[in-house]
Amino acid sequence: MNARHKQGRILPGFNITFGITVLYLSLMVILPLSMIVLHLASGDTQAALTSLISPRVLHALRLSFSLSLVAAFTNVIFGLLLAWILVRYRFPGRRLIDGVVDLPFALPTAVAGIALTTLYAPNGWLGSLLSLWGIKAAFTPLGIYVALIFVGLPFVVRSVQPVLEDFDSEVEEASLSLGAGRVRTFFAVILPVLWPSLLAGFSMAFARGLGEYGSVVFISGNMPMKTEIVPLLIMNRLEQFDYMGATSLGLLMLVVSFALMFVANVLQARLGERAAGVR
Amino acid sequence: MLARLSLNDGTWGERALRYGLLSAGACFAVLFLLLPLLVVFIEAFSQGLALYIVSISDEEALSAIRLTLVAAFFAVFFNLIFGVAAAWLIARFTFRGRKLLLTLIDTPLAVSPVIAGLIFVLLYGARGPLAPALDALGIKVIFTIGGIVVTTMFVTIPYIARELIPFMMEQGSVEEEAALTLGAKGHQVFRFVTLPNIKWALLYGVILCNSRAMGEFGAVSVVSGHIRGETNTVPLHIEILYNEYKFAAAFAVSSLLALLALGTLLLKAVLERGGHNGLK
């Protein structure tokens, strides 16, 4: 199969780079990941899979999915807002904000976790403000929600920002000059161009939220049936050496996150095609 | 392209809308991005400079720093070789299975850190398929430095390759082909043509890979066994301090990682601006 292309290859190094890449990926990615399936198959598969239908697991699944979903949705709105002001407006501090948007990517999750917990603890800067209204954030689902917003935000901003920068504003100006208001122009002209990038950012933020551990573990309090999300439950099972239980949950989460990654990739590919078609 | 509006252009309503959006966005950025960063440094020095220095220089902190440096070194070393090889392969050749390889390179980004740790426990652990062979050789991987290194390598696989691939594809291979027709050998082409062209992207990829390697928490937490002074990396050390209510010490150690993160962001900004000036 390689020979067919070979006559077209001028540059050297195909064989060696192909060898290194395939060997490394096989040993470091395919083999370790296949252990999930192999391990489940080696034991009592049925018992492991039925163990997923326990109240504690179902509660963790419901909490993980609902909080990640709501946090990703929040990030779509505020990520779009941030991308919008960064691209459209010139204001003092713009560079600073543009730079720190990537902070959640760069800051280790354990550091983010203890920082957010300290901020939102009842005696923290923000926690004490919230407690004036009787709202508790740390050690409640609200705290997990805050942490998931933090880790997911850059995905939306960074996928929308370049699309907004390339946006052909003549269409927008035409719409405005033809009498459509700003709001109508936004929903009828701008949003249709942005939505694939918004959806791609949404699914990446959602996937990240489902798997997030470090920034959630401190602020959640890890109370089973209350603030225990799936990654924390997997960790809990590993600590009790319940490898089958951990692996069956792991398989479920892997399938979901691969599906989400697939959606994000398809959307970004479509985005690329559209951009190529315009130019 | 629409000329970027100055904030004060337009009607009263347009100005109000602009300032409204701007302040909402700025508030959100301060609340969710700047405050978490600020609190790290303020808490780090909350008990004075003396405690800060003790916290980052006591024996456990130093051994955690050493272990983190070792893990990051191996992760960067192997992923650098892999990243350059994979980028050359994918950016310079078309072949069947290319898309699949790209997906595999991205895979660690889609895997939860906890699951990343889990798969290496299953592979190298006491009941894993490699256990008999490892036992015979007297090698322990899980709950040792080896496990931490391998897991860190896994989570940082994409970073260098993903920086290089789009960059090299955009550059194309005209210069390399020219060098070849002029009689350069393959390794000479790489050293004298490719490397000078990709050095900034490569550097940024290495910094990203290193920064992620030093900060990895969940995956390393699963395979480390948390043995103090032996298998504690910096993020795990932070967790222990925090759970022992030594908050100022936890934030003091955290401030080191936060500085690393800030350095990474700064370098990104510098390289991006350099890109506009024709550096890339």
> What is the reported pLDDT for A3?
44
Contact at CB, B118 and A234, closer than 8 angstroms: yes
Best of B65, B103, B111 to mutate (most A CBs within 10 Å, chain A): B111
For chain B, counts of helices (H) and of strands (E): 15, 0
Containing A271, the helix (H) or strand (E) segment is helix A243-278
What band does B138 get if pLDDT is binned at 50, 70 and 90? confident
Do residues B215 and B259 touch, judged by C-beta distance below 8 A?
no
Containing A183, the helix (H) or strand (E) segment is helix A182-185
* A78 to chain B: closest CA residue: B25
For a pLDDT cut of 90, what percent of chain B falls above it?
A: 72
Computed from CA positions of residues B260, B194, B159, A30, in that sequence, does the dihedral angle turn out positive or negative?
negative
What band does B81 get if pLDDT is binned at 50, 70 and 90? very high
> What is the reported pLDDT for A44?
85
Burial class (CB in 10 A: 0-12, 13-18, 19+), B257: buried
Name which of A106, A89, A61 is nearest A224 in CA terms.
Answer: A61
Q: For residue A217, is pLDDT > 50?
A: yes
Q: Which CATH number fits domain B47-276: 1.20.120.530, 3.40.50.10860, 2.60.40.1840, 1.10.3720.10?
A: 1.10.3720.10
Average pLDDT over residues B11-37: 91
A182 touches chain B (CB under 8 A): yes
Strand ranges inside A109-239, DSSP E: none
What band does B226 get if pLDDT is binned at 50, 70 and 90? low
Chain B residues touching residue A11 (CB < 8 angstroms) = 92-93, 173, 176-177, 180, 186, 189
Average pLDDT over residues A92-113: 93
ipTM of model: 0.90
> Which amino acid is residue B63, in one-letter code?
S
For A230-260, write each residue's pLDDT tens digit. Answer: 999 999 999 888 899 999 999 999 999 888 8
Do residues B255 and B49 touch, judged by C-beta distance below 8 A?
no
Nearest to A29 among B88, B104, B242 (CB): B104
The pLDDT mean for chain B works out to 90
> What is the reported pLDDT for B139?
85
Q: For residue A278, is pLDDT > 60?
A: no
Strand ranges inside chain B, DSSP E: none
Tokens of A110: 């354990």
Nearest to B254 among A36, A111, A213 (CB): A111
Contact at CB, A250 and B264, closer than 8 angstroms: no
- C-alpha distances out from residue A144 to A117, A219, B101, Å: 10, 6, 35
Q: For residue A275, is pLDDT > 70?
A: no
Radius of gyration in angstroms for the set of CA atoms belonging to chain A, rounded to a whole number: 23
Do residues A269 and A199 touch, judged by C-beta distance below 8 A?
no
Average pLDDT over residues B47-65: 93
Q: For residue B251, is pLDDT > 70?
A: yes
What residue spans define the domains of chain B? 9-44, 47-276
User: CA–CA separation, A4 vs B78, rounded Å?
Assistant: 31
Average pLDDT over residues B101-106: 92
Q: For residue B167, is pLDDT > 70?
A: yes
- Ramachandran area for residue A268 (φ above 0: left; ψ -120 to 50: alpha; else beta): alpha
The CATH fold assigned to A48-278 is MetI-like fold (1.10.3720)
> What is the reported pLDDT for B6?
63
